[in-house]
Amino acid sequence: MIVRIIQADGAEAEVTVKYAALTPEVESVIAFLQGKNVTLSGKTEEGTVQLKAEDILYIETVDDKTFACTADEVVRLDSSLTALMEILDGISFFRCSKSMILNIDKVERLKSLPSNRIDATMAGGEHILISRTYASDFRKRIAKGGR
């Protein structure tokens, strides 16, 4: 595999994967670039679990405790939202309020609300409010394709 790294002043970061056959090595690189191999460790009543970032609908802080919600379970995480945003930076997660991060890939519908807020309907039907503080940045991010 040939890897070329080019620094160009003023250019937006761009990664192109060119391949003749979709080998396991190429699939691994693509999964990494899409953030599909990012995992978070957390706790449930049954014990410690590993969560794939792509399975998380949203992450929320309640009473100084951080929880990741998937379609099937709620997992307690030990990290703060700020630390999690650093881990999830560059993939499809967005800080939508002071206490929540949502997975843009899991948003099914968006509805504009009064006061410049956005109602995001997640996979599974749950509604997440994107506060007016973050709504403008969210609209810009969606316009760029969500990444």
Look up the CATH number of the domain holding residue 75.
2.40.50.1020
Q: Is residue 52 part of a domain?
A: yes
Q: Is residue 67 part of a domain?
A: yes
* Residues 6+ positions from 90 with CB-CB distance below 8 Å: 35, 147
Q: Is residue 22 part of a domain?
A: no
Burial (Cβ within 10 Å: 0-12, 13-18, ≥19) of residue 73: middle
User: What domain count does the chain have?
Assistant: 1
Q: Is residue 29 part of a domain?
A: no
Q: Is residue 2 part of a domain?
A: no
Domain that holds residue 73: 39-143
Q: Is residue 64 part of a domain?
A: yes
Burial (Cβ within 10 Å: 0-12, 13-18, ≥19) of residue 40: buried
- Please report, in tens digits, the pLDDT of each residue of the chain (147 residues total): 777 788 888 887 788 888 999 988 888 787 777 666 788 999 999 999 999 888 999 999 999 999 999 998 999 999 999 999 988 877 889 999 999 999 999 999 999 999 999 999 999 899 999 999 999 999 998 887 765
| pLDDT the model gives residue 146 | 62
Q: Is residue 27 part of a domain?
A: no
